[in-house]
């Protein structure tokens, strides 16, 4: 049944009908749609806009429709135009004339805005808890590896020694920001738009506050034109997810590198690796690569949403129906990536020896040698120059700095003495950076504790 047949005498072209229908993808909003309609019907009855007995039978029938869809007894008919038409048609077929009053004081424009807000709020909660799972896994990995020295990189060149715990906590902080961003996004979506009508609200004495309360929204939208033409909450949601994907993708990229034979820092478990159909020796980090690849897909959804909205005159335009597939796909993709990532990172084996050995190469302690000279009274610029020469010499000799004899040190600068060796051991390099935000074991342990407190405070 069409909801708008009265004005028309001709039939819709078949291709046009298939083209504008959204039921194949908005069917997943059935629960939000029915829940919103129940609250609306209850309000219509209470306000005497429709007879209370009709409101009661609408509510009962809607609850039955919901249960029937959920149990599979009622199959969503893909010949309907959209989920709103389907539910209303089904209602009318079940209870007749009483059902024909449900749409009083409402438009599909405020209805779809409501459904999408409810969907985004629910998905935000689910994704927040998936992020919290990742954060917990990172904390437990960090706890295991506060003494696991590894090289830190800049430009993908070895830079200074850090620990694997410090590296894990760097990602913990990225996901912590993602979590907070999603909380803010949720607050933005938490405004109830029903009552906005098609664009100019309604003449009926509706009670928006009652509907808000029934649906558990924090507030109600304050401008009917804005409320039906606003998809900021979708854009915010998908942009939060895009940043989550950026973080996942960077971590995956590092894991892929670390699992390569040349790095040898880590090994994926068999349960998160795949093989090659031709090369028997291969063990490929496909999951990490796929997460990295799927990042582009979420960015694509964000671009689709932004471009869709950029030139729309107020208020609702059918362009906006395109919000759904972008939002759904971004949410599905991010959820799948987060849960696979969590299992994958939990089951990775880290090769402490390879990391330790790599950290000792590449002159990662050169800064510390310069800092040692500064503590002996040299200006940093001079110290930098001296250690630069020392490194050139050591490269010529094919030796690490701590393998040079004290005579060799002193041939570059007579300020050097025996205590330089202790000062440039990788353990000293890490543990003397014992300030808030630093890689020293104590600093990282404190950071881990703070992280645990954050998750506790959030009830994760």
Residues that bind ligand ARG (CB under 6 A): 22, 26, 82, 108-109, 112, 316, 318, 320-321
Q: What is the DSSP letter of 66?
A: H
DSSP assignment, residue 154? E
Q: Which is nearer to ligand ARG, 7 or 155 (CB)?
A: 7
At residue 373, the 3 state secondary structure works out as helix
Helix (H/G/I), strand (E/B), else coil: 273:
coil
Query: Which pair of tokens denotes residue 283?
Result: 């063990």
* Residue 47 vs 321, nearer CB to ligand ARG: 321
Question: By C-beta, is 81 or 368 nearer to ligand ARG?
Answer: 81
- Whole-number Å distance between alpha carbons of 208 and 206: 6
Nearest distance from C-beta of residue 27 to ligand ARG, angstroms: 11
Look at residue 230 and give its three-state secondary structure. coil
Q: Which CB sits closer to ligand ARG, 55 or 192?
A: 192
Cα 394 from chain centre: 46
Q: Record the tokens describing residue 352, joined without a space.
A: 């402490």
- CA–CA gap between residue 147 and residue 149 (Å, rounded): 6
Instruction: Provide, rounded to whole angstroms, the least separation between the CB of residue 26 and ligand ARG.
Output: 6
Q: CA 241 to CA 247: how far, in whole Å? A: 10
Number of H helices, E strands in the chain: 19, 6
CB of 92 to ligand ARG, least distance (A): 18
Q: Which is nearer to ligand ARG, 112 or 268 (CB)?
A: 112
CA–CA gap between residue 345 and residue 249 (Å, rounded): 13
Whether 247 and 345 have beta carbons less than 8 Å apart is answered as no
Angle between helices 52-71 and 83-95 (to 10 degrees): 120
55 vs 315, which CB is nearer to ligand ARG?
Answer: 315
Positions marked active-site? 155, 276
Contacts 24+ apart (CB under 8 A), 198-201: 198/107, 198/109, 198/110, 198/228, 198/315, 198/316, 199/107, 199/109, 199/224, 199/225, 199/228, 199/229, 199/314, 199/315, 199/316, 200/224, 200/225
Helix H or strand E encompassing 307: helix 286-309
**Choice between 109 and 221, CB closer to ligand ARG:** 109
- Alpha-carbon distance 373 to 413, whole Å? 10
**How far is Cα 95 from Cα 65, in angstroms, rounded to an integer?**
11
Sign of the Cα torsion 25, 26, 31, 32 reads: positive
Least CB distance to ligand ARG at residue 323 (A) = 7
CB of 81 to ligand ARG, least distance (A): 7
Task: For ligand ARG, give the closer residue by CB, 54 or 110.
Answer: 110
Q: How far is the CB of 22 from ligand ARG (least distance, A)?
A: 4
Tell me the closest approach of the beta carbon of residue 237 to ligand ARG, in angstroms.
Answer: 16
Whether the Cβ atoms of residue 342 and residue 137 lie closer than 8 Å to each other:
yes
Closest distance to ligand ARG from the beta carbon of 54 (Å): 25
Q: In 3-state terms, the chain is what percent helix, strand and coil (to 5)?
A: 65, 5, 30
Nearest distance from C-beta of residue 341 to ligand ARG, angstroms: 31
Cα angle: 56, vertex 57, 63; to 5 degrees: 95
Compare residues 321 and 347 and give the one whose CB is closer to ligand ARG.
Answer: 321
Peptide bond between residue 315 and the one before it cis (omega within 30 degrees of 0): yes
- Which residue shows structure tokens 């209370």? 52
């Amino acid at each position: 049944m069409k909801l708008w047949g009265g004005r028309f005498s001709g039939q819709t072209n078949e291709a046009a009908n298939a083209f504008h229908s959204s039921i194949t993808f908005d069917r997943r909003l059935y629960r939000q749609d029915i829940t919103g309609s129940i609250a609306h019907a209850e309000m219509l009855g209470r306000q005497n806009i429709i007879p209370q007995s009709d409101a009661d039978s609408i509510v009962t029938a809607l609850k039955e429709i919901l249960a029937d869809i959920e149990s599979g007894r009622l199959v969503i008919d893909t010949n309907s135009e959209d989920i709103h038409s389907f539910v209303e048609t089904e209602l009318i077929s079940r209870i007749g004339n009483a059902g024909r009053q449900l749409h009083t004081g409402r438009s599909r424009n405020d209805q779809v805005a409501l459904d999408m807000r409810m969907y985004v709020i629910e998905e935000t909660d689910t994704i927040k808890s998936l992020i919290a799972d990742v954060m917990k896994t990172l904390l437990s990995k960090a706890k295991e590896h506060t003494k696991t020295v590894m090289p830190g990189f800049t430009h993908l060149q070895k830079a200074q020694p850090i620990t694997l715990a410090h590296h894990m906590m760097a990602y913990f902080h990225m996901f912590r920001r993602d979590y907070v961003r999603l909380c803010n996004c949720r607050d933005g979506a938490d405004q109830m738009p029903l009552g906005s009508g098609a664009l100019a609200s309604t003449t009926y004495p509706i009670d928006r506050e009652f509907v808000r309360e029934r649906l558990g929204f924090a507030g109600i939208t304050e401008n009917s034109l804005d409320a039906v033409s606003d998809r900021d909450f979708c854009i915010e949601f998908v942009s939060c997810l895009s940043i989550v994907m950026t973080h996942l993708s960077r971590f995956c990229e590092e894991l892929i590198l670390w699992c390569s034979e040349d790095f040898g820092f880590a090994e994926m478990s068999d349960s998160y690796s795949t093989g090659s159909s031709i090369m028997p020796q291969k063990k490929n980090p496909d999951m990490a690569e796929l997460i990295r690849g799927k990042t582009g897909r979420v960015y694509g959804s964000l671009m689709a949403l932004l471009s869709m909205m950029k030139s729309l005159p107020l208020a609702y335009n059918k362009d906006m129906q395109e919000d759904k597939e972008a939002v759904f796909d971004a949410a599905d993709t991010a959820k799948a990536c987060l849960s696979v990532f969590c299992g994958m990172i939990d089951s990775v084996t880290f090769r402490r020896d390879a990391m330790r050995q790599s950290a000792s190469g590449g002159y990662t302690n050169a800064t510390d040698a310069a800092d040692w000279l500064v503590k002996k009274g040299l200006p940093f610029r001079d110290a930098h120059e001296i250690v630069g020469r020392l490194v050139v010499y050591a490269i010529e000799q094919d030796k690490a700095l701590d393998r040079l004899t004290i005579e060799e040190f002193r041939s570059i600068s007579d300020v050097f003495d025996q205590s330089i060796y202790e000062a440039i051991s990788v353990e000293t390099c890490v543990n003397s950076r014992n300030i808030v935000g630093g890689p020293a074991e104590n600093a990282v342990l404190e950071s881990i504790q703070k992280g645990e407190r954050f998750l506790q405070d959030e009830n994760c």
